[in-house]
Structure 1
C-alpha cells in the first residue's frame, strides 16, 4: 500500500503537468491560424489574467491567450496561468503532504485514512484519550496552546478567519506575522510561512518574499559570504547578494552589527552589552569593527585593565578566572584581579569569582527548585522524596510501568525521543548530553544563541532552543541589560 501511494504521489503530479502542457498546446494550435494569433491583444491578455488582475500570475508571458511559464518542470511554477507550485504542500518536517498524499497545484490530496491541509490527521484513532491529550501538550503543558483542539495526538488549530494563520505542532505559531499588508497575502504569495517566518520560492527574497532577484541563489550567497565562510557572518540575512544585518540602529546610522557581510559586531566591545549606555571598551577605548583600541594607560580585550595596576593583565585575569575559563565566570568585570559581579545589587550572583549564580535554580516561572528544595551556590538541594536539577521529579510513583511509558512516548512511538529514560510518566534526559531537553527530550539547547561564549550570556535559561531571559535582560542571547542603571 505504501509503495502504491509513493508511486501515485510521484506519477499524478507529473501527469497533471503533462496534461496542462497538452491543453495549452491544443489551445494555442486552435487560436493560431498560419502562425498568426486570431485573438485580439485584449482578448489574449484576458485569457491569461488571474482573478487578482495579474498576467500569468506575474510568473510568465502571455502568448495568444496561453501562459508560457518561466519554468514548467516539476517543483517550479506551472498551470494554465502559472499559478501552481508544489512547495505550498511542503511541511515542517521537510516532506510533501507528510508523505501521506500528493500535491495537486498547492493542495494536498490525501491517502485513504488521512485528512487535513497537510494530511496530518488520521481519520480513525486508536489512542486512549489521556495519551492523545498528552501528545498535544506544548512544553508548558498547555493543550494545543489554548488555540486549537486535540485529535488523536495532533492539534487542529483554530481557523476563525478561514486563512489558517494559527499553525505549528502545538498551534504555537502566529503566521499573521507573514502577511504582506500591502497585498494581503501570506509571504507575498511567493513563499511558505513556517511559524511566523517566510521561506521564499526560488528567485524571491525579503522578510515577506517581496523582492525578486535577478541573480541566481548561488551568486547571491557568494556575494554574501564573509571571510570566515559564513553567510552574512551568521548575523544577518542575504537578500539578492546583499546582507541585511540584524540589530541595525533605527536612526539610520550604523548599528551594533554592520559591514558588507555583517563581519563587524560592536557588541563584543561592551563589558556588559547595553544599547542604552555608552559603555564601549569599558569607557577606556574605541570600538573598531568589534575590536577595542584602548586609550593610553589601559589594556585588555575590552580595555578593562589599568596599566597602573601592580598585576600584569595575565595575572589579573588568572586571579579572576578561578576554576572557569572566563574571567568572573562571565558574570562580572575583572578589575585588577578582583571581580565586580553584575548586575550590581543582585544578591543571586555572588562569590569571589562570581561563581555562584542562584538564578540557575529557577525554572521558567521563577520558582526556586520547583518548590521542593533550596538553592546553594547555583545548585538545588532537594527535599526528601524529590530529585532532579530543579527538584522536578518525585521519587515515588502511583503509575504502572505501562501507564508511565505511554506518557513518555512521542507521537511516533519513540520513548523520550531515544535520548532519555522514563520515570513516572516524565522523561529524564541523559545528563551526559547537557544540550538535550524538553518534555520528550526533543529539544537541542545548542541552538540557543551565545554571547561572549556563554549560552544565553548566562542571563537566562535555554528553553527548547530559545533563550528565556531573566528580568532586566533581553536580546536573542539575553545580552542586553535594560534594567535599572548601575
Structure 2
C-alpha cells in the first residue's frame, strides 16, 4: 500500500503537469492560424486576466490568450493564469503535505488514510485515548490550548469563520496577525502564514508580503549579504535588496543596529545593565560600529580600565575572571581587578567574581527550586524525595512502566526524542547535552540568542530556543534593561 501511494504521489503530479502542457499547446494551436493570432488584443488579454485584473497574475506574459509563466526558484508558478505554486502546500517541518500527498495548485490531495489541509490527520486511530490526549497537551499541559479538539494525538483547531486562522501543533498560533489591514487577505494573498508570521512567495516581501520587488530573490539576498556571509548580519530583514535593521531601542530613537547590512551593533559598547544612561564605552570613549575608541587614559573592550590603575589590563581581567572564560562571569564590570556585580542592588548575584547567580534556581514563573529545595550559589539543593536541576522530579512514582513510557513518547513514537530517559511520565534530558530541553527533549537551546558571550545575556532563561527574560529586561537576548533607574 505504501509503495502504491508513493508511486501515485510521483505519477499524478507528473500527469497533471503533462496535461497542463498539452492543454496549453492545444489552446495555442487553435487560437493561431498560420502563426498569426486569430484573437484580438483585447480578447487575448481577457483570456489571460485574473479576477483581480492582473495579466497572468503578474507572473508571466500573455501570448494569444495563453499565459507563458516565468520560471522562478524554488519551484515555479504554473496554471492557466500562472496562479499556482506548490509553496502553499509546504508545512512547518519543511515537507509538502507532510509527505502524505501531493500539491495540486495550492491544495493538498492526500494519500489514502489521511485527511486535513496538510494531510496531518489519520482517519483510523490505534492510539489509546489517554496517550492521544497526552500528545495534544501544550507545554502548559492544556489540551490543544483550549482552542481545538484532539484526534489521534493531533489537534484539530477550532475555526468557526472557516478561514483557518487558529493553527499550530497545539492550536497555539493566531494567524489573524497575518491579515492585511487593507485587503483582509492572509499575507496579502502573496504568502503563507506560519504561527502569525508571513512567509512570502518569490518576489514578494514585507511583514504582510505587501511589497513586490523588481529584482530576483537571489539578487535581493546578494545585496543584503554582510561581509560575514549572513543576510543582514542576522540582525535585520532583507526587503528588495535593502536591510531593515531590527531596532532594539524601545524608546524609538536611533537604533543600536545600523549599517547597509546591519553590520554595526553598538550594543557591544553598552554597559548592558544601564540602558538609558550615557554608558557607551563606560562614558570614556566613542562607539564606532560596535567597537570602542577609548579616550586618553582609558583602555579595555568598553574603556572600563583606567591606565592609572596599578594593574595592567591583562592582570586586572585575570583577577576578575576566576574560573570563567568571561570577566566577572559576564555578570558584572571589572574595575582595576575587582568585580562590580550587576544589576546593582540585586542580592541574587554575588561572589568575588560574581560567580553566584541565584536567579538560575528560578523557573519561568519565578519559583525557587520548584518549591522543593533551596538555592546555594545558583544551584538547587533538593529536599528528600525530589531531584533535578530545579527539583522538578519526584523520586517516587505511582505509574506503571508502560504508563510512564506512553507519556514520554513523541507523536512519532520516539521516547523523549531519543535525547533523554523517561521517569514517571516525564522526560529527563541528557545532562551532558546541556542544550537539550523541552517536555519531550525536543528543543535545542543553542538557538537562544547570545549577547556578550552569554545565552540570554544571563538575564533570563532559555525556553525551547527562545529567551524568557526576567523582570526589568527585554530584547531577543534579554540584553536591554528597562526597569527602574539605579
Q: TM-score range by the shorter chain?
A: over 0.9
Per-residue deviation, 1:467:
0.3
Residue 152 of structure 2: aligned partner? 152
Per-residue deviation, 1:59:
1.4
Distance 1:14 1:420 in 2: 43
Per-residue deviation, 1:416:
0.4
For the residue of structure 2 that corresponds to 1:483, the secondary structure is coil
Distance 1:362 1:351 in 2: 18
Cα pair 1:320 1:338 within 8 Å, conserved:
yes
Deviates more, 1:458-467 or 1:298-307: 298-307
Distance 1:84 1:388 in 2: 52
Asked if residue 281 in structure 1 is aligned to residue 286 in structure 2, the reply is: no
TM-score normalised to structure 2 length:
0.95
Per-residue deviation, 1:260:
1.7
Distance 2:376 2:284 in 1: 36
TM-aligned CA distance change 1:445 to 1:296, over 3 Å: same
Residue 423 of structure 1: aligned partner? 423
Cα pair 1:72 1:78 within 8 Å, conserved:
no
Distance 2:248 2:402 in 1: 54
Per-residue deviation, 1:250:
8.8
TM-aligned CA distance change 1:263 to 1:272, over 3 Å: same
Cα pair 1:136 1:155 within 8 Å, conserved:
yes
- The number of residue pairs the alignment matches comes to 486
TM-aligned CA distance change 1:140 to 1:263, over 3 Å: same
Cα pair 2:273 2:343 within 8 Å, conserved:
no
Cα pair 1:267 1:273 within 8 Å, conserved:
no
Deviates more, 1:85-94 or 1:41-50: 41-50
Q: Deviations over 1:338-397 (max 9, x none)?
A: 222111121211122211111111111111111111111111111110000000000000
Per-residue deviation, 1:248:
6.8
For the residue of structure 2 that corresponds to 1:81, the secondary structure is coil
Distance 2:441 2:419 in 1: 6
Deviates more, 1:249-258 or 1:234-243: 249-258
Q: Deviations over 1:388-434 (max 9, x none)?
A: 00000000000000000000000110000000000000000000000
For the residue of structure 2 that corresponds to 1:185, the secondary structure is coil
TM-aligned CA distance change 1:79 to 1:274, over 3 Å: farther
TM-aligned CA distance change 1:271 to 1:56, over 3 Å: same
Query: Where do residues 127-276 of structure 1 align in structure 2 (5 Å cutoff)?
Result: 127-247=127-247, 254-272=254-272, 275-276=275-276
TM-score normalised to structure 1 length:
0.95
TM-aligned CA distance change 1:273 to 1:74, over 3 Å: closer
TM-aligned CA distance change 1:73 to 1:31, over 3 Å: farther
Deviates more, 1:55-64 or 1:431-440: 55-64
For the residue of structure 2 that corresponds to 1:155, the secondary structure is strand
Distance 1:74 1:354 in 2: 50
Distance 2:137 2:436 in 1: 19
Q: Deviations over 1:183-224 (max 9, x none)?
A: 332233232222222223333333333333344444333332
Cα pair 2:273 2:342 within 8 Å, conserved:
no
For the residue of structure 2 that corresponds to 1:26, the secondary structure is helix
Per-residue deviation, 1:163:
1.7
Cα RMSD (Å): 2.1
Cα pair 2:328 2:353 within 8 Å, conserved:
yes
Distance 1:300 1:216 in 2: 44
Q: Deviations over 1:4-37 (max 9, x none)?
A: 2122112212211222222222223333344443
Distance 1:356 1:252 in 2: 35
